[in-house]
Amino acid sequence: MTDATTEPKALSDAPVVLVVGSGFRPYREYILRSASSRYRLWLLDSREATWQLQYVVGATKVDTKDPQALTAAAREVCEKLPVAGVFTYDESQVVYCSLLAEELGLPGSPPDTIRACRDKAATRALLAKAGVPQPQSHTVDTVEEACAAADVIGYPVVVKARSLAGSYGVVRADDQAAVRAAFATADGAEFFGLQRHETGRVMVEEFLTGPEISVDSVIYKGEVMTTVIARKHVGMAPYFEEIGHDVSATDPLLSDVDLLDQLQRIHQTLGFSYGATHSEFMLTPAGPRLVEVNARLGGELIPYLGQLALGTDPVLAAVQVSVGERPDTTPTGGKAAGVRFLYPSAHVETVEVIVHEDRFGPTVHETGVTTSAGDRLALPPVAHLNRYGHVIALGDDLEQVVADLADAEQLVELVATPVTPND
């Protein structure tokens, strides 16, 4: 157990929130920074705390995927501090966090609700039974079953791992040969130790057309409040690698009745009472169709874009509901923000990354570098999310933001040596 050496005076009597897991610093530090502005945080993490210490009043190294050990560590904190809530933004921790909240009698949604979000087949079954519009979907065990399901649905189809995240094991297939290859990819995919099902590990679904969006929400006593809507950019077909997101305070989807109605029905059907979610939809010609629901804040810096563009804080809203407080999610800003994630053009080994500030457009807000000399970066299907950096733009006009991000690779340049993935 580690106690932080300093504590902001204004927070000396603030409620204490247990944060389970902390994640990759370049994409997650802003979350701890936001949460620590109003609450005292105690980190429960499987690794020794380092950079996180400036945001927490203490930290405990514990196996966060061992419910008994996690509960014991949490109770030790509860004995000396007034713990008011449990919070995580890590997909691999959401079930354990819900179990911990239930064990401690703190606000949260039922563990079965969180498990249903972790299981895409369970999500589909529950929502279909409730009459929520769904794409055709089949859970399969063998490549032969996958091919048969695709023949029934009609090509193209999407083949995906049943219980992973981050677009790992998600592939478009345009014919039976592609289904066979996609099944092997989906069945063999792993994502940060997330548990896989022993049977029915793969799903074959109808390929939906239209723009893809994500909706971050918080839930307070069953009421669903939208915090961020992001327009998604996907690349590297037939894979679905997320290469960017755009958020605008003037997006008409923020008041779209059909979308918001579906969002409420989805959360009610799944049984959410308190918490934060990240839901992904395709805006098809027939209306919004759910891709998946994740029981956590959005990744990919989406809540950060919400902070910049909307003037509200999705992070604080998520922490507020975790302690049983109703947040105010009314936007106070009127800007647009976007991010583009930067990938190599081939499998490479990093030499250096050069930031060309002289090439920045007027809305470029910040850049990030997420690789170091000697790192190997591979592309799908060998690896996913192997980025070397990102660029964020912020401005009054979405078109200018998008224009300034159009050639992001020229703003943050990767110098690298080509390699074969396994040499």
Indicate the domain borders of the chain.
2-106, 136-206, 209-334, 338-423
| pLDDT given for residue 201 in this prediction | 86
Strand partners, 16: 40, 83
Q: What is the pLDDT of residue 165?
A: 56
Q: What pLDDT does residue 185 have?
A: 87
User: Cα-flanking dihedrals φ and ψ of residue 367, to 5°?
Assistant: -130, 160
Minimal CA–CA distance to 385: which of 183, 159, 191? 191
* pLDDT number for residue 156: 97
Question: From 3.90.550.10, 3.30.70.80, 3.30.470.20, 3.30.420.40, which CATH number describes the 209-334 domain?
Answer: 3.30.470.20
CATH number listed for the domain at residues 2-106? 3.40.50.20
> What are the b/e assignments for 275-301, b being 16+ CB within 10 Å?
bbbbbbbbbeeeebbbbbbbbbbbbbb
Per the CB < 8 A criterion, the answer to whether 407 and 386 are in contact is no
Q: Identify the H or E element spanning 75.
A: helix 67-78
Topology annotation, domain 338-423 = Aldehyde Oxidoreductase; domain 3 (3.90.1170)
Distance CA 135, CA 159 (A): 13
Strands, E, within 34-121: which ranges?
40-45, 58-61, 83-87
pTM across the whole model: 0.93
**CB contact at 8 A, 386 and 379:** yes
| pLDDT profile of the chain (423 residues), mean per 10 | 50 92 95 97 97 97 96 97 97 95 97 94 94 93 96 96 71 96 82 58 94 98 97 94 97 96 96 97 96 95 98 97 97 96 97 98 98 95 91 98 98 96 66
Question: Which secondary-structure segment (H or E) carries 218?
Answer: strand 212-220
How far is Cα 224 from Cα 329, in angstroms, rounded to an integer?
11
C-alpha to C-alpha distance for 158 and 306, rounded to whole angstroms: 29
